[in-house]
Amino acid sequence: MSSLPITLEEEEAFNALDKQVAGNHYKDLPIQPVEYIHANAMGYLERNVVKYVSRWRKKNGIADLEKAKHYIELLIELETRRADSGSL
């Protein structure tokens, strides 16, 4: 392991939040969805709602809103089942 200091440019090159593969629909946002999701320890269905609602204007338009709506419907259905079974 090298003891040489890391330059600012090298440090930024390793910052995963500064890099987005395929597009810039998340990177250009003031708060990246992944940061919000991680900070709030969200589950799979909730993560997808945040993802699709955050990107719909810059990526797939109404199709992304439909995907977000579908994940909300899934979450409602699964949580309703859980509540009905008494396993809250």
Angle between helices 62-85 and 44-55 (to 10 degrees): 160
pLDDT at position 28:
78
Average pLDDT value for the chain: 85
pLDDT tops 80 at residue 75: yes
Verdict on whether the full-model pTM lies above 0.85:
no
DSSP string across 37-57: HHHTT--HHHHHHHHHHHHTT
> Given this model, what pLDDT does residue 80 score?
96
Q: Please, which residues have CB within 8 angstroms of residue 72's CB and are 6 or more apart in sequence?
A: 45, 49
**pLDDT tens-digit series, residues 52-71:** 999 999 999 999 999 999 99
pLDDT computed for residue 20 by the predictor: 62
The residue type of 35 is E
> What is the spatial distance between Cα 22 and Cα 83, in angstroms, rounded to a whole number?
40
Through-space distance between the first and last CA atoms of the chain, rounded to whole angstroms: 50
The per-residue pLDDT for range 11-28, each reduced to its tens digit, is 655 676 666 665 666 777
